[in-house]
């Protein structure tokens, strides 16, 4: 049993050594900015917006944009009561607690 535990401990402790090298985000950004076939994204986020508020008033322009594009039927926020961490998560794909 001890050799198995030591083998597992060795695998766990050596896993950070096998991590991918850090990415060069500056060159990634430059390559994206110089690409001529960039797609455009417009993200509209409402702070303090209850799920049924869009039914209370007429919003023909927003309705047209939702018809022509994509509208999320349901969203689970990364952080329920504060908007900024949820925006951070949407834009980066990382949760606030996973950054340094």
The domain ranges of the chain are 42-98
Lowest mean pLDDT among 15-19, 61-65, 74-78: 15-19
Per-chain mean pLDDT for the chain: 72
d(CA 76, CA 42): 19
Whether residue 27 has pLDDT greater than 80:
no
Mean per-residue pLDDT, 40-63: 80
Q: pLDDT band for 8, please (50, 70, 90 cuts).
A: low
Which residues does the annotation mark as catalytic? 83
d(CA 93, CA 89): 5
Q: What percent of the chain has pLDDT over 90?
A: 0
Whether residue 14 has pLDDT greater than 60:
no
Question: Exposure of 52 by Cβ count < 10 A (0-12 exposed, 13-18 middle, 19+ buried)?
Answer: exposed
Is the distance from CB of 89 to CB of 95 less than 8 angstroms?
yes
């Amino acid at each position: 049993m001890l050799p198995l535990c030591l083998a597992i401990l060795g695998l766990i402790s050596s896993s950070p050594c096998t991590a991918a090298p850090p990415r060069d985000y500056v060159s990634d950004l430059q390559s994206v900015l110089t690409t001529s076939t960039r797609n455009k994204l417009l993200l509209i986020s409402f702070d303090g917006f209850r799920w049924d508020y869009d039914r209370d008033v007429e919003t023909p322009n927003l309705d047209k944009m939702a018809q022509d594009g994509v509208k999320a039927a349901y969203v689970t926020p990364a952080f329920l009561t504060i908007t900024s961490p949820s925006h951070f998560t949407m834009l980066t794909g990382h949760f606030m607690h996973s950054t340094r």
